[in-house]
Amino acid sequence: MKTYNVAVVGATGAVGNEMVKILEERKFPVKSLKLLASERSIGKSLEFMGTDLPVEVLDEKSFKGVEIALFSAGGSVSLKYAPIAASEGCVVIDNTSAFRMEPDVPLVVPEVNPHAIKDYKKRNIIANPNCSTIQMVVALKPLHDYAKIKRIVVSTYQSVSGTGKKAIFELEDQVRALLMNKKVEKKVYPHQIAFNCLPHIDVFLENGYTKEEMKMVNETKKIMEDDTIKVTATTVRVPVFYGHSESVNVEFERKITPEKARSLLRKAPGVKVVDNPSKNLYPLAINAAGKDEVFVGRIRKDDTVEYGLNMWIVADNVRKGAALNAVQIAEILIQKYL
Ligand code: A2P
């Protein structure tokens, strides 16, 4: 079997760390693995396949001989280093929003538009979508194919791990401080996140929406390859460590019952239906954490429109929302194209 020289950029971060774990778990054919981060990580190492690998400092020469690089070190790092890696012949799978909406960069969710990967050759870059968008489109694609989506109204309940390691520590520290009657420190978020909900993810734009909300609007259309789908979003950070939850209201062009939606979703790749309210069974962030599937439940009719459904969609944002989706893209890349 052919093996590949792989690099993970941002390997010490929440997503990068998970990428390393998932490469091992899924037995990705790795010839060599290069772990890249900033100077802050000099001296650190991570375990991969039973060996401790040193973390190296990212620089212009990091990508010599690397065939596939998974980037998750922030947009500015990707903007600077992804083109450098690509020019060395390395295929970049980028988890940031830096290139997602560029027309010559494929934006891929393997369960939805795996065929788009073929266009990687234009720039040698493939973009991994936003975490909240990924879990939503995995669940909605089979329903869209059946009844065609007209409009989506989504509100998210996003965990702090989506912001990165520092935010995980911030929630932990604030909870501890509050329970001990101490002063809360805020470094990552503009307000206390412990025991609170912040209707503010990423920066505010001129239209009054946040950038996170507009990512959901624009990325959904690009991944589903359908500009006619109307999307409106409210994205909220909640004091949960792992797992994003979403309340999703969908209006369709054609009839689709909750029963039909459940049966389509039971057959859909990467989806697990958890929908038995009489037994208090519905998707929960704490159950989705550490899992690969997108969980869907609370599927019910929206009687205010002709053909409408409401549902609750939950997934591990660090896995399916980021690291796993990137590794799945890499798997298709090597099976079909490299
Ligand atoms: P480091 O740990 O050395 O700071 P998270 O999203 O969990 O905050 O992680 C961000 C990841 O991106 C970390 O691995 C971090 O490395 C890395 N990173 C951030 N800035 C840079 C940079 N300028 N060069 C290389 N890696 C970076």
3-state secondary structure of 143: helix
Average pLDDT of the chain to the nearest whole number: 98
For the full predicted model, state whether its pTM sits above 0.85: yes
pLDDT of residue 121: 97
The pLDDT score that the predictor gives to residue 21 is 98
Question: What pLDDT is stored for residue 324 in this prediction?
Answer: 98
Per-residue pLDDT band for 175 (boundaries 50, 70, 90) equals very high
Q: How far is the CA of 163 from the centre of ligand 1 (A)?
A: 12
Q: Is 244 a catalytic site residue?
A: yes
Rounded CA gap, 27 and 254, in Å?
42
From the CA of 168, give the closest atom in ligand 1. Answer: 7
> How confident is residue 97, by pLDDT bands cut at 50, 70 and 90?
very high
Residue with the nearest Cα to atom 19 of ligand 1?
73
The pLDDT value given to residue 163: 98
What was the pLDDT predicted at 308? 98
Q: Specify burial of residue 73 (Cβ count, 10 A radius: 0-12, 13-18, 19+).
A: buried
- Does residue 166 have its Cβ closer than 6 Å to ligand 1? yes
User: For this structure, is 131 an active site residue?
Assistant: yes
The pLDDT tens digits of the residues spanning 247-303 come to: 999 999 999 999 999 999 999 999 999 999 999 999 999 999 999 999 999 999 999
Per-residue CA distances from 197 to 84, 191, 254, 310, 335 (Å)? 39, 9, 36, 22, 42
Please tell me the predicted confidence (pLDDT) of residue 66. Answer: 98
What does the pLDDT look like over 226-238, one tens digit per residue?
999 999 999 999 9
Asked if 43 and 35 count as a contact pair (C-beta separation under 8 A), the reply is no
Pairing of strands 244-252, 308-315: antiparallel
Q: What is the pLDDT of residue 2?
A: 97
What atom of ligand 1 comes closest to residue 17's alpha carbon? 14
Residue-level pLDDT at 217: 98
CA dist list (Å): 176 to 166, 183, 241: 15, 10, 14
- Summarize pLDDT for 2-35 with one digit per residue, the tens: 999 999 999 999 999 999 999 999 999 999 999 9
What is the residue with the minimal CA distance to atom 6 of ligand 1?
164
What pLDDT, on a 0 to 100 scale, did the predictor assign at position 19? 98
The CB-side HSE value for 245 (13 A sphere, CA atoms) comes to 17
Mean local confidence (pLDDT), 153-171: 98
Q: Is the CB of 165 under 6 A from ligand 1?
A: yes
